[in-house]
Amino acid sequence: MELTRHYAESLDKRDPLGSFRSKFLIPENEHGQRVYFLGNSLGLQPKSTSTAIDFILQQWANEGVESFHKGERPWLQLHDQLVQPVSTIVGALKSEVSIMGQLTGNIHLMMVSFYRPSGKRNKILMEAKAFPSDQYAVYSYIEHLGLNPDEVILLVKPQQGKAHIDEETLLQLIETHRDEIALVFLGGVNYYSGQLFDIKKISAAAKDAGALVGWDLAHAAGNVELKLHDWQVDFACWCSYKYMNGGPGAVAGIFVHEQHIHDPHCKRLTGWWGYKRDERFKMHDRFVPEPDATAWQVSTPSMILYACLKASLHLVEEAGWPVILEKQRLMIDWLKQIIHDLHSPLFTCITPDSRGCQVSLLFHEKGRMVYDRLFEKGFMVDWREPNVIRLAPVPLYNTFTEIWMFRGAMKQILTELA
């Protein structure tokens, strides 16, 4: 790849997804559109989202509660319309996916079903630098069971002097504690470093050790290729407001492998919306689950949040998931070259080659100054304490020329601060 603006513009001209940028609302300042590299934090709003919300509101106004069953698009059909595109994105059977709740709440529900301590097999393997909410959820559930998290949780840490986890170290830890681990629970893409774990390989190692395996895919779903069913993952959770552009606080989702759906040993917390749907309104006293992953739903979902996610997923279907992944690979390669070309003593790229859209730059000094100057120049990136700038160009609305512009801005800033 040539490091020229002309080359970046030529990539944009050949981009089969080039027209999709116009389908999103791009933040602006007094100079025009800003460069939004924050899809890893909150994806942009599709222009169709407000129309989708208005349609739900109008149904509510016109039909009230009858909107669940009647009209052009009955609310009870919305979930099934979301499952198809999401199951494609995460590599699952439709029956293995449920669009429900919020990420941390869903992790709590999955812990009930998939953390099954028995004798000395009671340990949970996690990242030392997992997203804090994952740790809060797991620690609190362990304490709820009357166990000591310090005795139960095995933390895998980066080696001295490194910012990301060595996978061989992780695999060796699984092997060393193969008779003690009940659950391996990791983030598919680490929120801080941007490291993409080999989900297939790690899941296979966990299963071989006799453990169950689950993944927090908040930074992976809608970002990288996933094949949860084929990889024999037991469960996974994700949010939909990052790479799936479902909006702030968007409805989340879960994956439960089909082998567990009918397993009587797989317990769950139950609620109204997980009841067998064709008998749900008969109001029986005893719970009868829907025979798929929706059995883990507990409460009536927000139709407004469903509508937001549906608007975004429609764009994913229109673009084609394989096409999105192919552009993502090109953008990763382009950004990798750009970062390498910057070679400043002020920072180190801590994101390994195994990555999705996100790149994390660890600053040895002046990081906050760099971040502030980027913001002044119209670049929306992310600051993570104590000293990391994260950026994530995403295929549906970012361009190769924007990445080139980032290079120019960084070179100017780094020269000024040298």
Question: What CATH number did the domain enclosing 392 receive?
Answer: 3.90.1150.10
From first to last of the 418 residues of the chain, give the pLDDT tens digit.
Answer: 788 999 999 999 999 999 999 999 999 998 899 999 999 999 999 999 999 999 999 999 999 999 999 888 999 999 999 999 999 999 999 999 999 999 999 999 999 999 999 999 999 999 998 888 999 999 999 999 999 999 999 999 998 878 889 999 999 999 999 999 999 999 999 999 999 999 999 999 999 999 999 999 999 999 999 999 999 999 999 999 999 999 999 999 999 999 999 998 899 999 989 988 888 877 888 888 899 999 999 999 999 999 999 999 999 999 999 999 999 999 999 999 999 999 899 999 999 999 999 999 999 999 999 999 999 999 999 999 999 999 999 999 999 999 999 999 999 999 999 8
Domain assignment present for residue 45? The answer is no
Contact present, 230 and 255 (Cβ < 8 Å): no
Q: What pLDDT shows up at residue 129? A: 83
Q: What pLDDT shows up at residue 276? A: 87
Q: Which two tokens stand for residue 119?
A: 């004798």
Strand 253-256 with 35-36, pairing: unpaired
DSSP sequence for 121-184: B-EEEEETT--HHHHHHHHHHHHHTT--HHHHEEEE-PPTT-SS--HHHHHHHHHHTTTTEEEE
Q: Examine the domain organization and report whether 112 and 9 are in the same domain.
A: no
The rounded distance, in Å, linking the Cα atoms of 181 and 213 is 10
Domain assignment present for residue 48? The answer is no
Q: Examine the domain organization and report whether 340 and 278 are in the same domain.
A: no
| Structural domains counted in the chain | 2
Contact present, 288 and 276 (Cβ < 8 Å): yes
Domain assignment present for residue 41? The answer is no
Q: At what angle do helices 167-176 and 199-208 cross, to 10 degrees?
A: 10
Domain assignment present for residue 343? The answer is yes
Residue 272 is part of which domain span? Answer: 54-317
Q: What pLDDT shows up at residue 15? A: 97
Residue spans of alpha helices (H) in 266-366: 303-319, 321-342
Q: Examine the domain organization and report whether 92 and 104 are in the same domain.
A: yes
Domain assignment present for residue 42? The answer is no
Domain boundary among 317, 352, 367: 317
For 85, what's the count of Cα atoms within 13 Å in the CB-facing half-sphere? 20
Q: Examine the domain organization and report whether 155 and 263 are in the same domain.
A: yes
Contact present, 178 and 154 (Cβ < 8 Å): no
Cis amide bond preceding 386, omega within 30: yes
Q: What pLDDT shows up at residue 1? A: 72
Q: Examine the domain organization and report whether 175 and 228 are in the same domain.
A: yes
Hey, is 294 helix, strand or coil? helix
Which secondary structure element, helix H or strand E, spans residue 362, and what is its range?
A: strand 359-363
Q: Examine the domain organization and report whether 267 and 306 are in the same domain.
A: yes
Domain assignment present for residue 310? The answer is yes
Q: What pLDDT shows up at residue 39? A: 96
Q: Examine the domain organization and report whether 13 and 86 are in the same domain.
A: no
Q: Examine the domain organization and report whether 12 and 68 are in the same domain.
A: no
Which secondary structure element, helix H or strand E, spans residue 105, and what is its range?
A: helix 103-114
Report phi then psi at 43, rounded to 5. -65, 160
Domain boundary among 293, 317, 341: 317
Domain assignment present for residue 234? The answer is yes
Domain boundary among 317, 337, 367: 317
Q: Which stretches does DSSP call E strand in 219-259?
A: 235-238, 253-256
Contact present, 275 and 287 (Cβ < 8 Å): yes
The pTM score is 0.95
Q: What pLDDT shows up at residue 346? A: 94
Q: Examine the domain organization and report whether 237 and 226 are in the same domain.
A: yes
Q: Examine the domain organization and report whether 66 and 166 are in the same domain.
A: yes
Q: Which two tokens stand for residue 405?
A: 């512009």
For 77-113, letters b (16+ CB in 10 Å) and e give: ebbeebbebbbbbbbbbebbbbbbbbbbebbbbbbeb
Domain assignment present for residue 390? The answer is yes
Q: Examine the domain organization and report whether 60 and 93 are in the same domain.
A: yes
Q: Examine the domain organization and report whether 135 and 272 are in the same domain.
A: yes
CATH of the domain at 59: 3.40.640.10
Residue 233 CB-density burial (10 A; 0-12 exposed, 13-18 middle, 19+ buried): buried
